[in-house]
Amino acid sequence: MTRNSDPDFWHRARNHLVRYGGSFEPLIVERAEGRFVYDADDRPILDFTSGQMSAVLGHCHPEIAAVVSDYAHRLDHLFSGMLSRPVVDLATRLANLMPAGLERCLLLSTGAESNEAALRIAKLVTGKHEVVGFTQSWHGMTGGAASATYSAGRRGYGPAAPGSFAIPAPNAYRPRFTRNGELDWQAELDDGFEQVDRMSTGSLAAFIAEPILSSGGVIELPLGYLAALKRKCEERGMLLILDEAQTGVGRTGTMFACQRDGVAPDIITLSKTLGAGLPLAAMVTTAAIEEEAHARGFLFYTTHVSDPLPAAVGLKVLEVVERDGLVERARLAGARLMDGLRRIQARHECVGDVRGRGLMLGMEVVKDRQTKEPAFELGTAITQECLKLGLSMNIVKLPLMGGVFRIAPPLTVSDQEIDRGLELLDAAIARAR
C-alpha cells in the first residue's frame, strides 16, 4: 500500500486547509533534490515546472541552502528602516545587469507585491490612475495586481480598481488580425489602443505586460512588439512595466527577456526566479522615476521589505547563474527541448502547437488541428498520466484556447533529463488518448 494514501494526512488536509485553486495532487511530497521531487514512497518525479515556475537552480541547491543556514544564524530579518550589506549588494548587482537606466531597486517578497509597488509608483509619478494590461495576463492576487490580471480570478470579488483596461495579447496560433495568413500584431496593437483611448478618461498611467504570458498560455510577444508597445506608452505619457517574474534570470536564454528586443521599460518587476523558489521579489526603475516618487512621498512599507536573508539568497542565485553559464544553458537546453516537443507534435495529432523561448515553452492540446477546438479533458488526462509515470507537468485551461502545458524545467536540467521527460510525455499522451 502506498504511503501517499495516509488517511490521517488527508483527513487533516481536508479539515484544515483552505483550497486556493485547483485540486491537490494525490501524493505527499517528502523531499526534493535537483530536478526531482520525491513522494512518500520515495518515488522520483521529474519536475518540468520548476516548482511554481521558480526553482531555476533546481530544488535544494547546496549553495542556496548554505546561504539560508548562514543568514538564519546571524542576520535574518530587520526593521524596515534598517539596511544591511546583502540588500545594497543585491540592488547594485541588479542595476549592473538591467537594461540601461534601470538602477533603483526595491526588494520585496512576492511577484504580486512587486507589481503592486510598480503600479503604485507609476500612478504617483504620472499623477494618473488608469492601467492597461493583456486580457490573458497574470500579475498577482493582491488588489492592484489582481485588477490587472485577466486570465483568471475576476468573477465574484466585486469591482476591480477604477481605470482597469485590457487589450488582447498577440497570439500567433490563434490570431485575431491577419495579413497574408499570418498574425498582424501591429494592426491588433493599433486596434487595442484605439479601444483604450475611447475608454480612457485621459488618465493613462501605465501598461503592465509579461514578455511571455505564462498563465495566459505561454504567448510570446513577437519581435518588434515591445518596441511598438513602448512607443504607444510614450505617446500617451504612460509608463511601461514589464513583469519578468517567470522570464527573468536567464530562463528565456537572455538574462531578462526584454533584452532580446533591445527594449528598456520604465520599470521591471522580478520574483519567482530571483529567489530560485524562495520568497524574493524586486521592483527596479530609473533614477528619475525614483527621485520623483520620493519627492511626492512614495510609501511602500511592508513587513519584509529589504530583509537581509532573502537578499543574500538572490545574490547567490545571480552568482550561480552567471558563474555556471546558465543563461546560455537555457538557450541550448531549450532548443533541445523544443526539438523534442516538435517530434512529439509530429507523432500526435492532439498537439496543435508548441511555442516559447529558452526553457519556457508551451504545448497546446486540441481536439482537431484544423478547427483548433480545445481538448481540456484530454489535457487533464495527459497531466494525470505524466504524474503516474514520474513527470510533473502543469496545464492551464483558458477560454477560447486549448489546454496549454507550461514546460519550464530548472536551468540546471541535463540533456538526459530533458530526453527522459520527453519520453515520459510522449508515453503519457499515448496512454491518455
CATH number at residue 380: 3.90.1150.10
Asked if residue 177 and residue 106 are part of one domain, the reply reads yes
In a domain, 68, yes or no: no
In a domain, 70, yes or no: no
Q: Is residue 67 part of a domain?
A: no
Low-confidence ranges of the chain (pLDDT < 50): none
Within this chain, do residues 103 and 155 fall inside the same structural domain, yes or no? yes
pLDDT score at 401? 75
Helices (H), ranges, 127-184: 143-147
Same domain, 130 and 246: yes
CB 39 within 8 A of CB 45: yes
Burial readout 246-272 (b: 16 or more C-beta within 10 A, e: otherwise):
bbbbbbbbbbbbbbbbebbbbbbbbbb
Cα separation, 377 vs 399, whole angstroms: 14
Torsion angle, alpha carbons of 70, 73, 75, 79, to 10: 140
Does 54 lie in the same domain as 143?
Answer: no
Domain boundary among 277, 302, 323: 323
239 and 353 belong to one structural domain: no
Q: What is the pLDDT of residue 215?
A: 93
Say what the pLDDT of residue 397 is. Answer: 86
Residue 66 lies in a domain: no
CATH (domain of 266): 3.40.640.10
Q: Tell me the C-alpha distance between 197 and 185, whole Å.
A: 18
274 occurs within a structural domain: yes
The parent domain of residue 223 ranges over 75-323
Do residues 293 and 183 both lie within one domain?
yes
pTM: 0.97
Predicted confidence at residue 377, as pLDDT, reads: 94
Q: Structurally, how many domains does the chain consist of?
A: 2
Q: List, by residue number, the catalytic residues.
A: 138, 210, 243, 246, 272, 406
pLDDT tens figures, 341-373: 999 999 999 999 999 999 999 999 999 999 999
Domain end, chosen from 323, 340, 355, is at 323
* Judgement on whether residues 271 and 211 belong to the same structural domain of the protein: yes
Q: Which of 323, 347, 369 is the last residue of a domain?
A: 323
Kindly state whether residues 386 and 307 are assigned to the same domain: no
**How many whole angstroms separate alpha carbon 238 and alpha carbon 246?**
24
Residue 69, domain member (yes or no): no
Q: Is there a domain that residue 114 lies in?
A: yes
Residues 276 and 403 in one domain: no
Residues 183 and 273 in one domain: yes
Asked if 144 and 200 sit in the same domain, the reply is yes
- Provide the pLDDT for residue 398: 79
| Residue 281 falls inside a structural domain | yes
Residues 150 and 84: their CA atoms lie apart, in Å, by 38
d(CA 400, CA 419): 31
